Amino acid sequence: EAQVTQNPRYLITVTGKKLTVTCSQNMNHEYMSWYRQDPGLGLRQIYYSMNVEVTDKGDVPEGYKVSRKEKRNFPLILESPSPNQTSLYFCASSLAGDGNQPQHFGDGTRLSIL
Amino acid sequence: QKEVEQNSGPLSVPEGAIASLNCTYSDRGSQSFFWYRQYSGKSPELIMFIYSNGDKEDGRFTAQLNKASQYVSLLIRDSQPSDSATYLCAVNGWSSASKIIFGSGTRLSIRP
């Protein structure tokens, strides 16, 4: 089954404790992206990757890091999480590296930073 | 000015009627346009995508794109209660080099 898998689905943690949210897709997609969703603000792109070793900032990259060492994986790293990063996070992928194809979304990760 | 704007709603439409959702964007060079539906607590799912000016129809859904006026709309015919959700407009801008911008979404409610 074609899917985007995020882990964990839920996480409560404390300020400053490094965490990683994993994202994996099995569709051989070139484009992968991370979003955060906050009430009233819609989906805001954090980082995106057009292919292996090619990443770029979205609208809200501060406080986040990403890497794309393999085509299927695109982890999101919070080196020193803060309460303002409490949000619902989605990973997505699409076929073409230019982002002009529809995206498939993971089920989301709800992060709470205390 | 926001790069992608949508009326937040809620938009209330009687069952069986046509629901019309609108989205405007600021990047004149934008190339691809998407409509996603998101139920509460769930991830977005693709409804329609459109690249060229004009209409694109898929079942009860029609996407309309007018690049000169910089708007894209979604029409839902014969609205059903199951269409009640938040609809997100997304744009891939030319000047933003593969960055994808979402609107804040329009909440649609279909009343029986």
pLDDT tens-digit map of A67-98: 999 999 999 999 999 999 999 999 999 998 77
- Nearest-by-CA chain A residue for B8: A40
pLDDT tens for each residue of chain B, 112 residues long: 668 999 888 999 999 999 999 999 998 888 899 999 999 989 999 999 999 899 999 999 999 999 999 999 999 999 999 999 999 999 987 555 578 899 999 999 999 9
CA dist B99 and A49 (Å) reads: 10
Contacts of B40 in chain A (CB under 8 A): none
CA dist B64 and A10 (Å) reads: 38
- Nearest-by-CA chain A residue for B47: A102
CB distance A79 to A17 below 8 Å:
no
SS3 B82: helix
- A34 strand-pairing partners: A47, A91
Select from B5, B40, B43 the residue whose CB has the most chain A CBs within 10 Å, as the one to mutate to test that interface: B43
